Amino acid sequence: MKKIKGCVPLFLTMLKIGVFTFGGGYAMIALLENEFVSKKRWLEKDEFLDVAAIAESTPGPIAINAATYIGYKNAGIIGSIIATLGICIPSFAIIYAISLFFDAFLSLTPVAYAFKGIQICVVYLILTAGLRMLKQMKKTAFNITVISMTLVCTVAFSLLAVNFSTIFYILISGVLGVSVYLLGKIRREEKQ
């Protein structure tokens, strides 16, 4: 894992990700992983999976949480501020510009079709990021069980039109993880 030399590369990298990502934080995961794990090697694969899990589990947008963590890990508090600003500035500027001409902007037929195309691309980005993270995850019995249960529940709840927040999936998985850890710890202590 390489260490960042100065905050300028960090800021420019986050700015680039902020400019070229559509669809919010989940769509940014693939870009963040490609940039920080594959290209720059600022994070290891396992560490990136942990960052994504923490960023998803904490309040706020996932991309901003991940950027803040990566900035802090590599350049301290200043790095976290620089990374957060870098990833936020493009979205803020674009949304501000759009808000000035919002009604006229939406009435343009090419813009409406562009948004339809972008929606398809966003679904693809989220799906590929999820599949890549799934491939990289350790294949333990616990992980496979939690993923299987989550998929079954998601499909069943969707088919039955049950409203079940993703926050509950995260909380339940966290409680299961802590429970398995504590049970393992108790068993190890009993053997000693």
Buried b (16+ CB within 10 A) or exposed e, 81-95: bbbbbbbbebbeeee
Q: Which of 137, 163, 184 is the last residue of a domain?
A: 137
The count of structural domains within the chain is 2
What is the C-alpha separation between 167 and 156, in angstroms, rounded? 17
Predicted TM-score (pTM) above 0.85: no
- 55 with 69, same domain: the answer is yes
At which residue do the structure tokens 């590599």 appear? 74
Same domain, 96 and 168: no
Range of the domain at 154: 138-192
Of 91, 114, 137, the domain-final residue: 137
Structural contact between residues 26 and 126, judged by C-beta atoms closer than 8 angstroms = yes
For residues 43 and 37, is the Cβ–Cβ distance under 8 A? Answer: yes
Residue 86's pLDDT is 93
Do 181 and 120 lie in one domain? The reply is: no
Cα–Cα distance measured from residue 181 to residue 171, given in angstroms and rounded to the nearest whole number: 15
Local confidence band at 84 (pLDDT 50, 70, 90 cut-offs) = very high
Residue 26: partners with Cβ closer than 8 Å, 6 or more residues away: 62, 125, 126, 129
Same domain? For 150 and 88 the reply is no
Residues 66, 32 contacting (CB under 8 angstroms): yes
Q: Are residues 38 and 9 in the same domain?
A: yes
Same domain, 142 and 131: no
On the question of pLDDT at 10 being above 70, the answer is yes
Among 118, 137, 156, identify where a domain stops. Answer: 137
Check whether 24 has a pLDDT greater than 70. Answer: no
For residue 82, pLDDT beyond 90: yes
Sequence-distant (6+) residues with CB within 8 A of 184 are none
Give the Cα separation of 192 and 188 in Å (integer): 7
**10 neighbors 4 (Cβ within 8 angstroms):** yes
Do 79 and 89 have their domain in common? yes
Query: Which of these, 27, 19, 4, lies nearest to 120 by C-alpha position?
Result: 27
Q: Are residues 37 and 125 in the same domain?
A: yes
Q: Which pLDDT score is estimated for 22?
A: 67
Rounded (10°) angle between helices 62-100 and 8-20 = 60
Instruction: Indicate whether 98 and 30 sit together in one domain.
Output: yes
Q: At what angle do helices 45-57 and 62-100 cross, to 10 degrees?
A: 60
Lowest mean pLDDT among 134-138, 139-143, 180-184: 134-138
18 and 104 within one domain: yes
61 plus 123 within the same structural domain: yes
Tokens standing for 41? 């090697």
Regarding whether 111 and 20 lie in a shared domain, the answer is yes
The proportion of the chain whose per-residue pLDDT surpasses 70, expressed as a percent, equals 94
